[in-house]
Amino acid sequence: MVSRVIPVEPFDLVIFGGTGDLARRKILPGLFRRFCAGQMPPEARVIGAARAEMDTSAYRTFVSEAIQEFAGVLTCEDGTLDGFLERMHYVPIDARGENGWSELADLMRDDVVRAYYFSVAPGLFGDLAERLNLHGLTDEATRIVVEKPFGRDLETARALNRDLAAYFDESQIYRIDHYLGKETVQNLMAVRFGNMLFEPLWNSQYVDHIQITVAETVGVGGRGEYYDKSGAMRDMVQNHLMQLLCLIAMEPPSKFDPDAVRDEKLKVIRALDPVEPHHIVRGQYEAEEGAPGYREEVNDPRSRTESYIAMKVGVSNWRWAGTPFYLRTGKRLKARCSEITVVFKALNHSIFGEQEDHRNVLSIRLQPNEGITLGVTIKEPGPGGMRLVDVPLDMSFADALGDHASDPPDAYERLIMDVIRGNQTLFMRGDEVEAAWAWTDPIIDGWETRGDVPKTYDSGSEGPVDAVQMLARDTRVWRKVAS
């Protein structure tokens, strides 16, 4: 299968925070991979901007090291890394002062797409937006890209939206949720809306429940300071799991265009029920041999922040009322595994007499080993009557599509190219983010008011036993967390 790469228009991409961790690990390696794929036109340039005093030549060394460490397999022919580095520039800049802005203005070109990536703390978004405007660095075609966390509650998210809206139209603002850039997350839409098979059954009449799991094996590591102020709810549920839920639950948009898709996602978020406290389990991982527990890692023996969360969520609309969505995510779990499972209802009448409970289960595996499995019921081979057994119709995307699927572009690669193309479909709109916080805030406020303490769970386990019990009360079971 041949991958089609359509070059984008020439651009000047400025990365504020150009020496930061995200730039080093994701943005620069992602750009390099797109360059290797032939998607960056010769006129495209990347301008790192940060407080550090360095010149363009030192920045090129920094970029080269980042690429060697994080770009993965370098498929470029000899010499092309240099070709890529030639497009790199650097300007030392002060987001809150005047230093560097006129140098940046001298560097920017008028006849190319201008994009500004705010890979900085959200507290600087407003300052950057203001200075870009003040120094005449924007026009109506300019795009800005902002990273999560987009606020820590509704109030702060609204303030950020207001700060950006003072200088930019919504059509110019690209709020990144990197889950939307994952190949298989987009496949959720392809599976749902590109097949006749599933959509007629995709509702509470046929679906018993849906599980969304994002399990990680890593702990909070060096991010303890940030993480302990966020927890799994703010770090993962309010954004990544919420987006997955939206793509699974939304009505078919009339077309695959930014506002049609985002309008439908917004309706899902607004239809989410408030969550009862007994429908949530929060957990914190304990130490294991050679690895510290959560509280040690964040250096706070009394921390009440959750590194795991499981919850039962209702979507009150015509399609889903009565079908629960079970969400769970956590760190230091048994395996790295993100998947969405749609468990269909049992047959309402079996012509084969008394049988065990057999159901169709559709499982969409997001990472790793991307693919789809559909559990179907067949006859167990051999004599002795009509005994039924469930078997998987298993499709790994790598097996079905070859190399093309086994090395998909990283989420950031796709999203950055979408910014240059001016396609906002895979970015969150301001009202979506606010609606997500409006649903999240009362849940977090409830924990704080009641002083809830997370349950502990063993590192390397599937999470707290209370999460298992939560489903058992509904006579359901979680899918195994397995890689």
Residue ranges in contact with ligand BG6 by CB under 6 A: 216, 235
| Of 7, 81, 16, 80, the residue nearest 44 (C-alpha) | 7
Specify the residue, 132 or 145, whose C-beta has the smaller distance to ligand BG6. 145
The rounded distance, in Å, linking the Cα atoms of 49 and 59 is: 10
Tokens of 214: 């994002």
Instruction: Report the residue number, 107 or 444, with the smaller CB distance to ligand BG6.
Output: 444
- Asked whether 332 and 216 are in contact (CB, 8 A), the reply is yes
Closest separation between CB of residue 366 and ligand BG6, Å? 8
> For this structure, is 240 an active site residue?
yes
Rg (CA), the chain: 24
> Quick check: 341 and 210 in contact, CB under 8 A?
yes
Compute the C-alpha angle 85/91/97, nearest 5°: 160
Closest CB 166 distance from ligand BG6, rounded Å: 27
Q: CB-wise, 216 or 306, nearer to ligand BG6?
A: 216
**C-alpha count within 13 angstroms, C-beta hemisphere, residue 332:** 24
Distance in Å, CB of 329 to ligand BG6, minimum: 9
For ligand BG6, the closer of residues 63 and 236 by Cβ is 236
Shorter beta-carbon distance to ligand BG6: residue 193 or 226 = 226
Check if the beta carbon of residue 85 is closer than 8 Å to that of residue 55. no
For residues 203 and 210, give the distance between their C-alpha atoms in angstroms, rounded to a whole number. 11
Q: Which of these, 10, 44, 17, 245, lies nearest to 146 by C-alpha position? A: 17
135, 240, 278, 279: the active-site residue = 240
Cα–Cα distance between 370 and 281 in angstroms, integer? Answer: 28
Minimum gap (Å) between residue 305 Cβ and ligand BG6? 12
Q: Of the two residues 253 and 293, which places its CB atom closer to ligand BG6 in the complex? A: 293
In whole angstroms, what is the distance from residue 344 CA to residue 145 CA?
39
Residues identified as active-site: 240
